[in-house]
Structure 1
Amino acid sequence: MAGYLLGIDNGSQSTKATVFDEHGAVHARARVPLRPNDTPRPGVVEHPDDDLWDSIGAATRAALDAFDGEPGELLGVGLCTIRFCRALLRADGTLAQPVLSWMDERVSRPYEHTNPDVRYVTTSSGYITARMTGRFRDTAANYQGVWPIDTDTWAWAADPDVPRDMLFELVYPGERLGTVTAEAAAHTGLPEGLPVFATANDKAVEALGAGLADDRTLLLSLGTYIAGMTTGSHNVHDAKAFWTNFACRPREYLYESHGIRRGMWTVSWLRDLLGDEEWLNAGAATVPPGCDGLVAVLDWLAPVDAPFRRGAFLGFDGRQGPFHLYRAVLEAIALTLYANGAAMADELGTGFDRVLVSGGGAGSDVLMRIVADVFDRPARRAQGGAELGAAICAGVGLGLFAGFDEAVTAMVTPGTEFRPDQATHERYRRLAEVYRELPGYTDPLFTWLSSATE
C-alpha cells in the first residue's frame, strides 16, 4: 500500500489521532485533552464551546506535524467519537447549543424541540462528520439509548419520535461518509478531498482495534467508563446482566456487561492526589493481594438506578499507605468486572477462555497481573484501541482488505500475555465474595448519608 491511514478517537477525556500503515504500525500520534465539562446545574453536563471539533483539529494537526511523510500520502480517515452524546445543529451543521455529554441527564430522555435554531438532532459522530465533510450522514452503529432506531435492521424506526427530516442518513461501519471539505482541511491540516469513513460507537471501535473477534474472549475496556465486552451475531433483547450494543462489523453485535462509571477517571483522580503513576504502580506491586484488608467501593459517579451511592475506602487499620489505596482501586476494578463478566457469561450460556485488556490501564503490569489472577485466565494486553479500529474501518472502506477479518489479521498485533497464579487467585476468589455482598451493607449507609446531608 503506497499510503497511510489516519484513525481519530474523540473520547471522553481527550482526542487522539494516529497515523498507521497497512500492518498497523504507528508512524505518528498525538493526543489533545478536552476541556473540563460545563456543569452549570445538577444533571446538566455539556462540552464547552466547540471543544470536540477544536480538539480534533488540534490533535490531527499535531499528528501530521509528527509524521515523517506528507499529508498527501494519507489514503483515508476513520472517525470515531464518544457515544451517547447529543448534538443539536443549525441548518449549516454548526452547533445550535453545546454538545450534551453522555453524563447529561437529558440524553436519557427523548428529544424535546425547545430551541427554534435546531434543524438537526444527531450524535457526536454525526456532528463531526458534518463539520469534516459537509454531509449530514452518520454511522448507524453510534445510535443507542433513546434514539428512534430499529436495532434489528440498523435503520430508523418506521415511526420515529423525532421528525425524520431532523435525522441524518445512516451508513454502516466502513462506508464512506464523505470527503474533507476545504474549510475542514484548513482546520485539521488534512488534504481537501480525503475520504472519511464511518466507524461505530467508541466501545465497539475499541473492541475492533483490540482484536476482539470471538465469543470465548472477554474484553475489559479500561476507559472513563469500564465494562466487559464480548461479541455475537444475535440482537439479544431484554437481557438482565448485560445490554446489546452495535458492533463495528456491520450487522453484528457487542454484548456489554454492567460497568463502572468514572472507572479510569477514578484511577487518574487518585494518581493526581498521591503521586507519579510509575511510582504508584511499582509500589502497588509490593502490596499483598487484598491490600491488608483495605477495599474500595468505586461509585465515584453513582449509577442512574442508585443515585445515593458514593465512592469509599473501607478497612483502614494503620498498616495501609498510598500504595494500598492505589492497589485497592485496581483490585476493585478487576473484581467488579469479574462478577459482571460472569453474570453476562451465565446469561449468554457461554464461558470465557481468555481476557483481553484495552485502554490506558492496560499499560500497568500490576493491573494486568491482578486481572489474570482474579479471572484465573490468561490476560493479554491489547496493542490497539479505538484509533486502530477507526483506521481498520478506513482500510476496509478503501478496499485495501477483503473485509474486517482480513484487516484485523493484518493490522492487530497481539500484546504481552500474563498468566494467573493459582494461590493468588484463591485469595481473590474469597475476596470476590466480599465484593458481591458489600452493596448490601453500603447501600443502607449511603442512603442514610444522602438523606442526612441534603
Structure 2
Amino acid sequence: MNKKYILAVDGGSQSSKIMIFDLEGNVVCEGKENLKPLNLPSPGVVEHPDDDLWDSIAVASKKTLKAFEGNTDDILAVGLCTIRFCRALLKKDGSLYSPVMSWMDQRVSRKHEQVSDEIAYVTTSSGYITHRFTGNFNDTAANYQGVWPMDTDTWQWYEDDQKIADYNLTRDMLFHLQMPGTILGYVTKEASEATGIPEGLPVVATSNDKAVEALGAGCTGERTALISLGTYIAGMVQGHDNPKNTVNFWTNFASVPNQYLYESNGIRRGMWTISWFKNVLGDSFEQKAKEMGICAEELLNREAEEIPAGSDGLMTVLDWLAPADKQFKKGMMIGFDGRHTRAHMYRSILEGIALTMKCRLDEMCDELGITLDNLIISGGGSNSDLFMQIFSDVFGIPASRNIVNGSAAVGSAICAAVAVGAYKDFDEAVRHMVRIRDTFRPDLKNTELYGKMNAVYQDITNHTDDILKRSYEIFS
C-alpha cells in the first residue's frame, strides 16, 4: 500500500502556510506566502486587501505541491484552518463584496451593518475560504466566537429567528454549520486550477486557529496547558464544560466536537518585545552574531544562559502595548544596578513573560478548580532552551515542546485524518501525529526563587500606575 498524506492549510495573520504530512505527523514538504500589508483606510477599519487570504493560499499551495515528491493520488484530504475573529461579506455568488475584515477591525466587535443589498452572506474567514475551495456555503461551527447569533451550548445558530434578527442578520445570510473533523465539500475544478490541489479532494472542517493550534500541540487533557508564544501570548486548557460569565478567562470552542478551550488573559505584543529589544541593540550586534555563524536571538540566549535566575533583581513589566481602557500603561524595566548588562535585560524579558503567564494561568486554574501537571510551549520562542527552562522553573512543572512547531498545521492534519477514517477518533490521531521533541524539568531551587520574586513582580504596577497616569497627561 502506498504511503498516504494529508494537506494542511494554516492561514495565519502574517502568512498562509501549506504543509503536507504523512500519517505519523512528519512534515513531507511545505510552502509559505506572506500576506500583504493590511489596509487601514480610516480609523478602526483594518482589512485584508483585495482577495489576499485566498490568493496567498493559492500561491503557497503551488509552492508546496511543486516540492512534493510523492503521488498526489495518495493525498487523502485537505484540513482547513484560518484566522479567527475575521468577518467576510459575500455577494450572492459567494464572491467578496468588500475586503475581509481583520480581527483588529472594530466592526467585528459590533453587529453586522447591512450597508448594501448586494451583501447576501456574512461569514468568517474559514467560511469564505471553504466556499473558494468547494463552492459550498458550509463552515466550521467552531470559528464563530464573538458577535454572532450562536448558541455556544449546541454549536448551532439560535433557533429563534428574532435572536438572529437582533444581530441585523437573517437565517439565509448564514452558512451551514458543521463540526470539526467533518467534510465541508470537495475541491472544485476552479479551485484546483488556482491552487494545484487535486480536484475532488475532501476539504475538512477544523476550528478557530488557536483551538487548532492547541489540538496540534497535543493539549487535550484538563491538566495540561498550552502556552502559545506569538505577538499575543495566551495560555489554554481544554475541558468539557461551557462556563459563562467567567472573570479570569473566556471560553472558546475546541477543535474536538462538543469540547471547549479555556483561554487565559495574555500578553499583548509579547514576543514582539523580544524583537524590539534585538532591534534596540542595533546593527553591530547583528553583525557580531553573523560573524559567529549564528542569529542574533541565539547569541542573546547564549549570553543570558550565564545570568542567574532572577536576573540579579532586574524585572521587566510587559506593557509595551497598553489596553484600550488603561492607555497610561507603559512597559518598564526596574531594578538596575552596575551589574546589569544586555544579557540581564534579555533574560528579564523572558522571565517577565513566564512570570506574567504564571499569574494568568493561576488565575484561570483557580477559577476552574484545576491544577496543572505539565506545560506545552509552542511558537518560535520555544526553540530557546533557556526560555523552555525558565517556563519549567517558574511553573514548577515539566515543560515540553514538539518536533513540529507549527502546531496549527498539525491540528488541521489531525482533523482531516479523522474525517477520512485514517484514525478512529481525535485521541488516536493525536497519539500518532503529535510528537514531543523534548521535555524540560524544573530546578526546584529556581522555582523557589521565582515564587518569592513573583510576589514582588505582581505588585509592581500597584505602585507605578499612579506615576504613569501623571506622565501620561504630559506625553499622551
TM-score range, shorter chain: over 0.9
1:323 alignment partner, SS class: helix
Q: Which residue of 2 aligns with 1:43?
A: 44
Instruction: Quote the Cα distance in structure 1 between the aligned partners of 2:36 and 2:457.
Output: 34
The structure-2 alpha-carbon separation of the partners of 1:407 and 1:424, relative to structure 1 and needing over 3 Å to count, comes to same
2:100 alignment partner, SS class: coil
1:420 alignment partner, SS class: coil
Q: Is the 8 A contact 1:133 1:180 kept in 2?
A: yes
Which one of 410, 414, 419 corresponds to residue 388 of structure 1? 410
Instruction: Quote the Cα distance in structure 2 between the aligned partners of 1:324 and 1:165.
Output: 58
1:423 alignment partner, SS class: helix
1:113 Cα deviation from its structure 2 partner? 1.7
Q: Which residue of 2 aligns with 1:117?
A: 118
Q: Which residue of 2 aligns with 1:341?
A: 361
Q: Which residue of 2 aligns with 1:429?
A: 451
Which one of 174, 186, 192 corresponds to residue 185 of structure 1? 192
Q: Is the 8 A contact 1:262 1:300 kept in 2?
A: yes
Q: Is the 8 A contact 2:375 2:398 kept in 1?
A: yes
Which one of 179, 196, 213 corresponds to residue 220 of structure 2? 213
Q: Which residue of 2 aligns with 1:359?
A: 379
Instruction: Quote the Cα distance in structure 2 between the aligned partners of 1:242 and 1:323.
Output: 33
Q: Which residue of 1 aligns with 2:138?
A: 137
Q: Which residue of 1 aligns with 2:289?
A: none
Instruction: Quote the Cα distance in structure 1 between the aligned partners of 2:462 and 2:117.
Output: 48
Post-superposition Cα deviations, 1:186-218, rounded to whole Å, max 9, x if no partner, equal: 221111111110000111101111111211111
Which amino acid in 2 is paired with 1:421?
D
Instruction: Quote the Cα distance in structure 2 between the aligned partners of 1:67 and 1:305.
Output: 49
Which amino acid in 2 is paired with 1:56?
I
Instruction: Quote the Cα distance in structure 2 between the aligned partners of 1:304 and 1:405.
Output: 40
Q: Is the 8 A contact 1:202 1:386 kept in 2?
A: yes
Post-superposition Cα deviations, 1:81-119, rounded to whole Å, max 9, x if no partner, equal: 111111222222222222222122222222222244322
Instruction: Quote the Cα distance in structure 2 between the aligned partners of 1:166 and 1:309.
Output: 41
The structure-2 alpha-carbon separation of the partners of 1:112 and 1:307, relative to structure 1 and needing over 3 Å to count, comes to farther
Instruction: Quote the Cα distance in structure 2 between the aligned partners of 1:318 and 1:93.
Output: 63
Post-superposition Cα deviations, 1:33-65, rounded to whole Å, max 9, x if no partner, equal: 223323344433222222221221222222222
1:180 Cα deviation from its structure 2 partner? 1.3
Q: Is the 8 A contact 2:8 2:20 kept in 1?
A: yes
> How do 1:168-179 residues align onto structure 2 when only pairs under 5 Å count?
168-179=175-186
Instruction: Quote the Cα distance in structure 2 between the aligned partners of 1:266 and 1:128.
Output: 32
Post-superposition Cα deviations, 1:407-444, rounded to whole Å, max 9, x if no partner, equal: 11111112200011112122211221233112223433
The structure-2 alpha-carbon separation of the partners of 1:241 and 1:74, relative to structure 1 and needing over 3 Å to count, comes to same
Q: Which residue of 2 aligns with 1:167?
A: 174
The structure-2 alpha-carbon separation of the partners of 1:8 and 1:271, relative to structure 1 and needing over 3 Å to count, comes to farther
Post-superposition Cα deviations, 1:290-316, rounded to whole Å, max 9, x if no partner, equal: 233332222333334434433333344
Matched, 1:415 2:437: yes
> How do 1:3-402 residues align onto structure 2 when only pairs under 5 Å count?
3-157=4-158, 158=160, 159-160=163-164, 161=167, 162-274=169-281, 275=286, 276-384=296-404, 385-402=407-424
1:273 Cα deviation from its structure 2 partner? 4.4
1:103 alignment partner, SS class: coil
Q: Is the 8 A contact 1:362 1:382 kept in 2?
A: no
2:255 alignment partner, SS class: coil
Which amino acid in 1 is paired with 2:213?
E
Instruction: Quote the Cα distance in structure 1 between the aligned partners of 2:279 and 2:86.
Output: 27
Instruction: Quote the Cα distance in structure 2 between the aligned partners of 1:410 and 1:2.
Output: 15
Kindly tell me the number of residue pairs found equivalent between the two proteins: 454
Instruction: Quote the Cα distance in structure 2 between the aligned partners of 1:299 and 1:186.
Output: 47
The structure-2 alpha-carbon separation of the partners of 1:451 and 1:43, relative to structure 1 and needing over 3 Å to count, comes to farther
Q: Taking every aligned residue pair, what percent have the same amino acid on both sides?
A: 54
Q: Is the 8 A contact 2:90 2:119 kept in 1?
A: yes
The structure-2 alpha-carbon separation of the partners of 1:341 and 1:198, relative to structure 1 and needing over 3 Å to count, comes to same
The structure-2 alpha-carbon separation of the partners of 1:168 and 1:444, relative to structure 1 and needing over 3 Å to count, comes to farther
Q: Is the 8 A contact 1:392 1:408 kept in 2?
A: yes
User: If the length of structure 2 is used for normalisation, what is the TM-score?
Assistant: 0.90
Post-superposition Cα deviations, 1:359-405, rounded to whole Å, max 9, x if no partner, equal: 22111111101100100111111334110000000000101111111
Instruction: Quote the Cα distance in structure 2 between the aligned partners of 1:58 and 1:77.
Output: 16
Q: Is the 8 A contact 1:358 1:383 kept in 2?
A: no
2:243 alignment partner, SS class: coil
The structure-2 alpha-carbon separation of the partners of 1:130 and 1:237, relative to structure 1 and needing over 3 Å to count, comes to same
Which amino acid in 2 is paired with 1:430?
K
Instruction: Quote the Cα distance in structure 2 between the aligned partners of 1:266 and 1:183.
Output: 43
Instruction: Quote the Cα distance in structure 2 between the aligned partners of 1:68 and 1:272.
Output: 39
1:272 Cα deviation from its structure 2 partner? 4.3
Which amino acid in 2 is paired with 1:327?
R
Q: Which residue of 1 aligns with 2:469?
A: 447
Larger radius of gyration: 2
CA RMSD of aligned residues (A): 1.9
* Stretch deviating more after TM superposition (401-410 or 271-280): 271-280
* Stretch deviating more after TM superposition (319-328 or 172-181): 319-328
The structure-2 alpha-carbon separation of the partners of 1:324 and 1:60, relative to structure 1 and needing over 3 Å to count, comes to farther
Q: Is the 8 A contact 1:83 1:142 kept in 2?
A: yes
The structure-2 alpha-carbon separation of the partners of 1:113 and 1:378, relative to structure 1 and needing over 3 Å to count, comes to same
The structure-2 alpha-carbon separation of the partners of 1:426 and 1:341, relative to structure 1 and needing over 3 Å to count, comes to same
1:147 Cα deviation from its structure 2 partner? 1.4
User: If the length of structure 1 is used for normalisation, what is the TM-score?
Assistant: 0.95
Q: Is the 8 A contact 2:3 2:22 kept in 1?
A: no
- Structure 1: state its 5+ residue gaps: none
Q: Which residue of 1 aligns with 2:291?
A: none
Structure 1's consecutive aligned runs of 4 or more residues displaced over 4 angstroms after TM superposition are none
Which amino acid in 1 is paired with 2:140?
T
